[in-house]
Structure 1
């Protein structure tokens, strides 16, 4: 790693200004030139700057660091053992700053991915902000991971259009790099997922099929299952239901071979949604209950399944079962400290609770003033259509036909939007 960016990174890491580092050694303008590789400083100046930063210029452990870094990067790709990921990170975080390692920049970029994996989204953002000023010195490989992990952050925070822009910039670097097939397949997979989220169905199918070819060749069952899930969702959207069911069943089979409960239950949820789309309520309820009865399911999937079961039971006028699911949802929410992350689930749960309690005025205010605007802002057209239709039916039952027509119209326009997507 070049000495200028190395000094700059350590300065930023220690939250030191250029003036503070340069004081009594060089002018801060000259330090800026050193950091941005616009001049070569004397060994004496470099030594003084490094002493102030408390770092030593040695590369004795660089090979050891490189090997450890590569192992850790692999763990971030396959995120099964978080305890081992954290343990290795802590070891590297101490070791890597003891030398002028060529691996330091790559390690810092991979920290973005690390923080996202352990659920520290704010730390990931801070890491992005910290590295932004340094990004002009990145080589092509650094840029590839920089864009990819920034895309990961945008995906996690729900900024899917921004995520796509980042992933596309990463993809543009592929022809200039000698990456492994798995690394290429991984970027193809995340692009497929993002296209799916944005309802770009044909693009999602194209990228998922590219990725699955590589994962299949390498016997990576988990990643194959994830691609089959994307394909299952995509074919359901274009009403090719048999093909959709086939892909979901393949995903479930691979999840069972890998003993991965998350994949198995995510597939059950997707099958529940597919049968709900077809109006097959009993089958939908069966698959949703399969998810809910498994204690290893992650929080987001569990909440989503509770809301889905509430919708199904309410649609067939099973009010007792609807109430039971609302209670279950409320129990889950008691253990959640940051409810803003699951805002759509919380608003949906509250909406159904108010409507079955016949607290219609509160229900109307909540859905009209909070839930619908939130879904519109998030461009969550599927849920927007559902809740607009629910509100239309509610007003129709109260013989408030003008308001009913307004929300039925919104539901129809939203369905049109989904079709156009």
Structure 2
């Protein structure tokens, strides 16, 4: 039987050495050949290896070509549905189905594609990032056997993972690797649209505004032609963000209004939360805090997801901090921390640091040196240099106001250094 890839995948997942798996069953060198599908072992050896690994032999599909064809069609159709819909609950439902109906195929290509698609669903569903990180690492050991499309799927997964864990630079690195593969893979139009949208999201977050817009418009064209109005709405929001970042405020406002119009015309009230949030962000950058606060509160009212309102709560904290409204800063920080405790999700750890910093800043004692340093170290590890810079400045000002001039100078230098990194500037002459 051709089961080497199944044995190798499960052995790697369990972090078991070949010597341990082979002991009492076969030699390690024989196991190595089995795993590379160079030899096909007897059913007795396969049964012993499966038992040691805890693999259910009843799930093995033995050269059933029709079953493979049917499963592959279902898998690809499910993948398209999930990627084009971009709905977390729908993704969780499809992920659950695939995990319950997961036959083990002697067809290595089909099995690897299944693993890669399931991994993508887990990332979209907001699975535990430590577990996802291990899955990615395990797949790395199998990647030399991937075909071009599987390599594409693997690198897209890594890009998405790094973006989800706030490591933007690593995400861009893998997306740019993906772009080098695209010409050699026959991607369908929907998959190209999703890639273009994803590049738009990551590049916008990295302030690559002029590079971004062509990718977004390409994705928008596909979604509009295929009447995927939720995705059309997503594109208008993203275009609005790019316009805001390039200080084209009226154009940004018009993009958000188009998104709101789609919400009304196509019965997408659950998307109004993100539209209101972006209207709040636009008002804030234009200096209208009162209007920004009103929009952020509207956003919280419409957000119904599990993590509803965290970003808008944080933005409310910022607006009230600008007004030096100590009571409301602390009230909204408490609401944010309370929500974090309910969620119990490490993916939102950054908010824990944000809320604690602002809460300490507006306390009777003033900014906490310990809390701020912990946050700076956290954002360094996440390579989120925008917040390293921001909180280094806050700490520098606190030191200065407390006549700790040497420490203040060190923090200002640190802020300048990470500002250079964030803006990709090497020397002051390039400013």
TM over 0.5: yes
Q: For each residue in 1:241-266, what CA deviation from the matched residue of structure 2 results, as whole angstroms up to 9, or x when unmatched?
A: 11122222223333444444553212
d(CA) in 2 for partners of 1:241 and 1:16? 57
Pairwise CA distance, 1:6: 4.9
Identify the residue that residue 117 of structure 2 maps to in structure 1: 110
Match for 2:62 among 53, 57, 62? 57
Identify the residue that residue 35 of structure 2 maps to in structure 1: 35
d(CA) in 2 for partners of 1:123 and 1:318? 41
d(CA) in 2 for partners of 1:378 and 1:102? 34
Identify the residue that residue 8 of structure 1 maps to in structure 2: 8
d(CA) in 2 for partners of 1:400 and 1:333? 35
1:234-249 maps to which residues of 2 (within 5 A)? 234-249=242-257
Is 1:357 aligned to 2:363, yes or no?
yes
Pairwise CA distance, 1:294: 2.8
- The answer to whether the 8 A contact 1:351-1:366 is kept is no
Q: Give SS of 1:293's match.
A: helix
Pairwise CA distance, 1:102: 5.0
d(CA) in 1 for partners of 2:323 and 2:228? 41
Pairwise CA distance, 1:296: 0.8
Q: For each residue in 1:130-160, what CA deviation from the matched residue of structure 2 results, as whole angstroms up to 9, or x when unmatched?
A: 2222211111111111111122112212222
- The answer to whether the 8 A contact 1:199-1:418 is kept is no
- Structure scoring higher RCO (CA < 8 A, sep ≥ 6) equals 2
Is 1:130 aligned to 2:138, yes or no?
yes
Q: 1:47 to 1:216 in 2, by over 3 A?
A: same
Identify the residue that residue 84 of structure 1 maps to in structure 2: 93
d(CA) in 1 for partners of 2:300 and 2:406? 36
Q: 1:211 to 1:76 in 2, by over 3 A?
A: same
d(CA) in 2 for partners of 1:385 and 1:21? 50
Identify the residue that residue 310 of structure 1 maps to in structure 2: 317
d(CA) in 2 for partners of 1:12 and 1:411? 43
Identify the residue that residue 153 of structure 1 maps to in structure 2: 161
Identify the residue that residue 369 of structure 1 maps to in structure 2: 373
Match for 1:67 among 68, 73, 83? 73
1:338-357 maps to which residues of 2 (within 5 A)? 338=345, 340-357=346-363
Identify the residue that residue 288 of structure 1 maps to in structure 2: 296
Q: Give SS of 1:353's match.
A: helix
- The answer to whether the 8 A contact 2:163-2:171 is kept is yes
- The answer to whether the 8 A contact 2:168-2:383 is kept is no
Q: For each residue in 1:163-214, what CA deviation from the matched residue of structure 2 results, as whole angstroms up to 9, or x when unmatched?
A: 2222222222222222211101111111121112222222222321222222
Q: Give SS of 1:113's match.
A: helix
Match for 2:210 among 184, 199, 202? 202
Pairwise CA distance, 1:369: 2.0
Range moving further from structure 2, 281-290 or 45-54: 45-54
d(CA) in 1 for partners of 2:11 and 2:358? 53
Identify the residue that residue 239 of structure 2 maps to in structure 1: 231
Identify the residue that residue 274 of structure 1 maps to in structure 2: 282
Q: Give SS of 1:134's match.
A: helix
- The answer to whether the 8 A contact 1:56-1:100 is kept is no
Report the RMSD for the aligned CA atoms in angstroms: 3.4
Pairwise CA distance, 1:271: 1.7
- The answer to whether the 8 A contact 1:272-1:283 is kept is yes
d(CA) in 2 for partners of 1:237 and 1:12? 45
